[in-house]
Structure 1
């Protein structure tokens, strides 16, 4: 079952995020089951949304990589809201988004396009 994990982290800074990201090494060694990761900031802090192939893969990543990196950065254990993906839609062909993903320093993988082309989590 495909899931999305949503983190709302009040008072988190871009530097906090960069420190955690460097410790995790997402770009150099993407976690098993990770499909997409987005983060944005406003005056209150950060919001991160991740798309995962399964909750089990997300929980393994969280236990082995994310929680230790957050502890090391002094953020403690952050809580995520985990939701089953009900729908995913792209406003055009997935290929349209590859340049956007690349400009955001994300590593597009063939599996991302396949997931959207065939329906995230099956039956979408």
Structure 2
């Protein structure tokens, strides 16, 4: 069952986020099982909302790629919240945001 995963961190800057993205190589090698990634900043800090295919794939990504990248940058381990989704519906217009063909690990 697909999951919606949210991550909120008040002390992560745009520069931190870009550095973590560079460390994990998300665009060049999207993590296996991550179907959608969105991020934003507001007055409360940094936030992401992801759609993952499974808890196992999320856990593997956190352990093998994401938390090690946070450690390199001296940021605390991520503590995302995962909720089982009832429905995922996407407009075909979402296609304009797709990444170019990339290898998936």
TM-score between the two structures when normalised by the length of structure 1: 0.75
1:97 lines up with 2:89 in the alignment: no
Counterpart in the other structure of 2:54: 54
Which structure has the larger Rg? Answer: 1
The structure whose residues are more often helix, as a share, is: 1
Q: Which runs of 5+ in 2 are unaligned?
A: none
Indicate the residue corresponding to 1:117 in structure 2: none
Question: How far does residue 83 in structure 1 lie from its aligned partner after superposition?
Answer: 0.6
How many residue pairs align between the two structures?
101
CA RMSD of aligned residues (A): 1.5
Counterpart-to-counterpart distance in 2, 1:83 and 1:71:
26
Q: Which sections of structure 1, spanning at least 5 residues, go unmatched?
A: 110-124
Instruction: Provide runs of 4+ in structure 1 moved above 2 Å.
Output: none
Partner of 1:74: 74
